[in-house]
Structure 1
Amino acid sequence: MKQFLFGNSPDSVNDLFPDRVIKRLLLDEEEIGVLRIGNTFFAFQSSCPHRGASLIQAHINGQGEIICPLHQYRFDLKTGQLKMGFCGDLKVFQTQLTEEGLLVFTQ
């Protein structure tokens, strides 16, 4: 498992990731999205597993789901589980906010 560090303190991480704004990151060869809601961070594959639409432009609903802008498929941000639609689950990545910054773990 690889880990990537962003920012150098919790405050710098909050500045890097404004609340409820999806940011695109490139980790080695993999493009992911990172989203902060309050003090919780989510990291996920940047394209929908259905037709590859960009999830960087997606909407987040009040149930903690990311909604694909192309066909409105919904995925749980914590688990990646498909909640509505007909495709595989979304790949999600573990995150951890530390005093040194935000860690994102990949397989």
Structure 2
Amino acid sequence: MKKFQLGQSKQGAIDLFPEKVIKRVKLGNKEIGIVRVGDHFFAFDSLCPHRGASLIQGSINGYEEIICPLHQYRFDLKTGALQSGSCSDLEVYQTSLTDEGLIIQLNSGN
């Protein structure tokens, strides 16, 4: 696992990510999407596993799902599980908000 920190404090990390605004972030050589819903942060692969559409252009619904802008496939932001459509699950990454900032853990292959 590789760990990355964003922000210098809890509030600093919150300020970096406006509510339900998907941001593209490059961590090492991996480009991911990050979104904040309330106090929860979600990190995920920036491309849809179906056709490679940019999920950065997607939207977040009231069920903490990201919706792909190309075919409206829906993925659970907590687990990456496909909720609607026909493709593999979305890769998601563990996040934790600490007093030092937002910590994101990428799998060792990333």
TM-score normalised by L of structure 2 = 0.95
Within 5 Å, which residues of 2 pair with 1:32-43?
Answer: 32-43=32-43
Within 5 Å, which residues of 2 pair with 1:55-70?
Answer: 55-70=55-70
- In structure 2, the partner of 1:44 is 44
- In structure 2, the partner of 1:13 is 13
4+ residue runs over 2 A deviation:
none
Deviation at 1:42, TM superposition (A): 0.2
Q: Secondary structure at the match of 1:56?
A: helix
The 2-side partners of 1:22 and 1:67 are apart by 11
Deviations 1:23-45 (A, max 9, x none): 10111111100000010000000
CA-atom RMSD in angstroms: 0.6
Q: State the aligned residue count.
A: 107
- In structure 1, the partner of 2:74 is 74
- In structure 1, the partner of 2:91 is 91
Deviation at 1:14, TM superposition (A): 1.2
Deviation at 1:52, TM superposition (A): 0.4
Query: Percent identity, aligned pairs only?
Result: 62
Return 5+ residue gaps in structure 2 as ranges. none
The 1-side partners of 2:51 and 2:43 are apart by 19
TM-score normalised by L of structure 1 = 0.98
Return 5+ residue gaps in structure 1 as ranges. none
